[in-house]
DNA sequence: CATATTGTTCGTAAAATGACGAACAAATAT
DNA sequence: ATATTTGTTCGTCATTTTACGAACAATATG
């Protein structure tokens, strides 16, 4: 924790999360997963108007931010919210927005 | 509201807000303003380790996203949260985060 | 009027983002 | 063993983001 560093860890953390949420496609995925526990990316490809490689990138960003996790299941991959980090995100945003 | 459009307005709106919040400097400003009603950008320039032109850009982004507003006051500019949109942002994030 | 003070705008540059199709890897099914 | 399904990775490209300093505009102060 360097001294001259003005920005707090929480500010950095919530900015990191917000950045990951800063695209409509990614919010679509997050909302879906917050409603139905899991989904397969194939389902998303069918519905979303983007190439599967692009979707893959978006999912990777959500994964890198810790918001979702993917579990290999036969030929497909099952995506779910990362419950632990999701709770953390809830708390962080609550902290920054509610007061 | 076009038919083939999968993404909802709320998803787009919250993504827009999240994008604006997706930088530590901007979260710093937002947190400050959520605590102390207003500030002058000069105060920020003193504290933050970035050029004033860069700060100006960040403030503009927050303004464009509707999160803050600037009021000219003599030689300086007073920045505050845009209360109305801030409430909207609170509601949107609450909705998406299930809080 | 001259001169600070304050912030934006401009020009520039490096890096990141978002998108695509093609190629690839892994696993299942034929 | 070959084909099919599923998703990632690669190469590419255009656009956006982040950052800086210099120049500029507007407004106070001497």
Distances (CA, A) of B81 to A30, A95, B87: 27, 16, 10
pLDDT, one tens digit per residue, over B29-72 is 999 999 999 999 899 999 999 999 999 999 999 999 999 999 98
The number of distinct structural domains making up chain A is 1
Cβ of residue A70 near strand D, that is under 7 Å? yes
Residue from the list B18, B31, B35 with its beta carbon closest to the beta carbon of A21: B18
Task: Show the domain range for B65.
Answer: 9-97
pLDDT of residue B4: 55
pLDDT of residue A4: 55
Structure tokens at B1: 């509201």
Structure tokens at A57: 């990138």
Residue A86 has pLDDT above 80, yes or no: yes
Distance of CA A98 to the CA centre of its chain: 21
Question: Inter-chain contact B19–A19, Cβ cutoff 8 Å?
Answer: yes
* Per-residue DSSP letter, A26: H
Give yes or no for A30 touching B (CB within 8 A): yes
pLDDT, one tens digit per residue, over A5-30 is 899 999 999 999 999 999 999 999 99
Give yes or no for B3 touching A (CB within 8 A): no
**A14, part of any domain:** yes
Residue B2 has pLDDT above 70, yes or no: no
**A84, part of any domain:** yes
**A62, part of any domain:** yes
- Residues of B from 58 to 97 whose C-beta is within 7 A of strand D: which are they? 58, 61, 74-75
**A45, part of any domain:** yes
Full 3-state SS string of chain B: CCCCCCCCHHHHHHHHHHHHCCCHHHHHHHHHHHHHCCEEHHHHHHHCCCCHHHHHHHHHHHHHCCCEEEEEECCEEEEEECHHHHHHHHHHHHHHHCC
**B4, part of any domain:** no
The CATH number of whichever domain residue B27 belongs to comes to: 1.10.10.10
Element (H, E) at A94: helix A83-98
Give yes or no for B88 touching A (CB within 8 A): no
Question: Inter-chain contact A27–B11, Cβ cutoff 8 Å?
Answer: yes
Residue B95 has pLDDT above 60, yes or no: yes
**A4, part of any domain:** no
Residue B5 has pLDDT above 90, yes or no: no
Mean pLDDT across B71-94? 92
Rounded distance, CA A22 to CA B56, Å?
A: 21
Residue B3 has pLDDT above 50, yes or no: no
**B2, part of any domain:** no
The CA–C1' separation of A71 and D17, in angstroms, is 33
């Amino acid at each position: 924790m360097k001294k001259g560093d003005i920005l707090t860890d929480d500010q950095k953390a919530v900015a990191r999360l917000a950045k990951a949420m800063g695209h409509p496609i990614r919010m679509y995925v997050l909302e879906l997963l917050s409603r139905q526990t899991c989904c397969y990316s194939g389902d998303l490809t069918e519905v979303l108007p983007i190439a599967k490689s692009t979707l893959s990138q978006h999912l990777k960003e959500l994964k890198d931010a810790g918001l979702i996790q993917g579990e290999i299941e036969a030929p497909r991959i099952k995506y779910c919210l990362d419950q632990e980090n999701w709770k953390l995100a809830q708390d962080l945003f609550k902290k920054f927005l509610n007061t």
